[in-house]
Amino acid sequence: MARRREEQERRDHRKLGSELDLFSIHEEIGGGLISWHPKGAVLRFQIETYLRGLLDDDGYQFVYTPHVASEKLYERSGHLENYADLMYGAMDIEGNPFRAKPMNCPNHIMIYKTHLHSYRELPIRLAEFGTVYRFEKSGVLHGLLRVRGFTQDDAHIFCRMDQIQEEITKLLRLASRVYKDFGFAKIKSFLSTKPPQSAGDPALWAEAEKMLRAALDAEGFRYEVDEGGGAFYGPKIDLKIEDAIGREWQLCTVQLDFTLPRKFDATYRNDKGGEDQVVMIHRAILGSFERFVGVLIEHYAGNFPLWLAPVQVKVLTVNTEVEAAARELWAKLRHAGLRPAIDAGPDKVGYKVREATLERIPYMVVIGPKDVAAGTLSLRLRDGTQVAAVSPEELIEKLLLEVREKRLTPVFKA
């Protein structure tokens, strides 16, 4: 037990976040509001870029929506009635009440509704890395894991009833791929079914639940069923991952919704020329970038795999003689698309190695006069492993391979 607590403390993302210069929280700005530092921003940007690529391949279209909206929107969506507790108070704009956005869903429906859609156009998948603000008491705030402002990797899929299974299948595949790429091998799934108090036709619920089960079964997901645990507006699937020390984190929710489209009168033209109500699927794979990065920091104890590491390789000089050669190597690495740093200062190389180790930089290149004469370099891995006589070309080639394949173990250790 003491061991586990020690391990948790060693991995605490708040401590590592400050040591690795990733993010900060300031009383002057407000509790639960995150300031991302340059290195944290690089990490987040890698995650966003990676995800954007996958979503693009899966037929999502990206949108941006405002951070505040008229209260009228939340009256219609039912948020004011059902979620007032998690919303911040109204701000007055020319006598009209506005609210900070607690969810992106109503905004995406408004975009969907700007066109009349035919059944043939569906599904329409609108994605947004959408920043939302939710009320949390100061006592429960916790680093990146429990915050007041966060950016969800949100999306809403507008589809027909008969498309649900295929969309859920795609989502399960996407989530598995994403978790695997980030180094989470174990996934637990949960299906929540119709609660006693629910909106919508029971036949619709039964049909939807059947499709969710079929998708989970077909993709080989073993799941627990939470009978009656669904929201009143539709059944849902939750996915949890397990981190390096066996803790479970719920990241993904796939929520079917028959109610919001009805409230907003969101329809499509069916094959008989009539109008049918569209089905809406709310889903996030990572949840929010804040929380996910918090989980990642703790999972890796700050030792990010190369493709995510804010600084991937640091060039260290032994003396001033080799500075020009070190700068040349730095430029080559950068030109190759890697994220290098350089320490050509007057400190002893032993000190420079210790610093880079504390920064948890995956690779250190130590350059001395012998290396320059031989045209090779000496490599030092984060765990202390040393590799001698590596050519700059080999280094670049192998690091790019490690990044491209999102390897979890360094190529130089394989």
Residues binding Zn ion (CB under 5 A): 105, 282
CA–CA separation, 414 and 399 (whole Å): 13
Which residue in the list 11, 101, 282, 352 is annotated as catalytic? Answer: 282
> Helix (H, G, I), strand (E, B), or coil: what is residue 402?
helix
Question: Least distance from C-beta 256 to Zn ion, angstroms?
Answer: 11
Q: Which is nearer to Zn ion, 155 or 364 (CB)?
A: 155
Q: Which is nearer to Zn ion, 213 or 282 (CB)?
A: 282
Question: Least distance from C-beta 156 to Zn ion, angstroms?
Answer: 6
Residue 59, token pair as written in the block: 């037929």
Contact 169, 179 (CB under 8 A): no
Alpha carbon distances (Å) from 412 to 191, 214, 304, 357, 381? 42, 43, 16, 17, 8
Which residue in the list 101, 108, 148, 156 is annotated as catalytic? Answer: 156
* Of 107, 155, 163, 126, nearest in space to 278 by CA: 163
Question: Least distance from C-beta 254 to Zn ion, angstroms?
Answer: 11
Question: Least distance from C-beta 234 to Zn ion, angstroms?
Answer: 11
Q: Which is nearer to Zn ion, 107 or 312 (CB)?
A: 107
Q: Which is nearer to Zn ion, 209 or 257 (CB)?
A: 257
Which residue in the list 11, 44, 79, 105 is annotated as catalytic? Answer: 105
Q: At what angle do helices 392-404 and 323-335 cross, to 10 degrees?
A: 30
Which residue in the list 236, 283, 382, 398 is annotated as catalytic? Answer: 236
Q: Which is nearer to Zn ion, 260 or 367 (CB)?
A: 260
Which residue in the list 101, 152, 159, 213 is annotated as catalytic? Answer: 152
Which residue in the list 44, 134, 360, 398 is annotated as catalytic? Answer: 134
Alpha carbon distances (Å) from 268 to 65, 138, 259? 23, 44, 15
Beta strand 149-159 with 279-288: parallel, antiparallel or unpaired? Answer: antiparallel
Question: Least distance from C-beta 292 to Zn ion, angstroms?
Answer: 17
Q: Which residues fall within 8 angstroms of residue 71, CB to CB, at 6 or more apart?
A: 80, 90, 96, 97, 98, 99
Q: Which is nearer to Zn ion, 290 or 359 (CB)?
A: 290
* Of 346, 348, 330, nearest in space to 338 by CA: 330
Is residue 299 among the annotated active site residues?
A: no
* Of 219, 238, 227, 235, nearest in space to 279 by CA: 235
Is residue 152 among the annotated active site residues?
A: yes
Alpha carbon distances (Å) from 366 to 51, 298, 319, 348, 412? 34, 29, 10, 12, 16
Q: Which is nearer to Zn ion, 105 or 187 (CB)?
A: 105
* 93, amino acid identity: I
Is residue 252 among the annotated active site residues?
A: no
Determine the length of the chain.
Answer: 414
| φ/ψ of residue 339, rounded to 5 | -115, 85
* HSE-up of residue 404 (Cα within 13 Å, Cβ side): 8
Question: Least distance from C-beta 263 to Zn ion, angstroms?
Answer: 13
Q: Which is nearer to Zn ion, 22 or 127 (CB)?
A: 127
Question: Least distance from C-beta 119 to Zn ion, angstroms?
Answer: 22
Is residue 156 among the annotated active site residues?
A: yes
* Of 250, 252, 238, nearest in space to 193 by CA: 238
* Of 300, 312, 303, nearest in space to 42 by CA: 312
Omega of the bond leading into 392 within 30 degrees of 0 (cis): no
Question: Least distance from C-beta 132 to Zn ion, angstroms?
Answer: 10
Residues marked as catalytic: 105, 134, 152, 154, 156, 236, 282
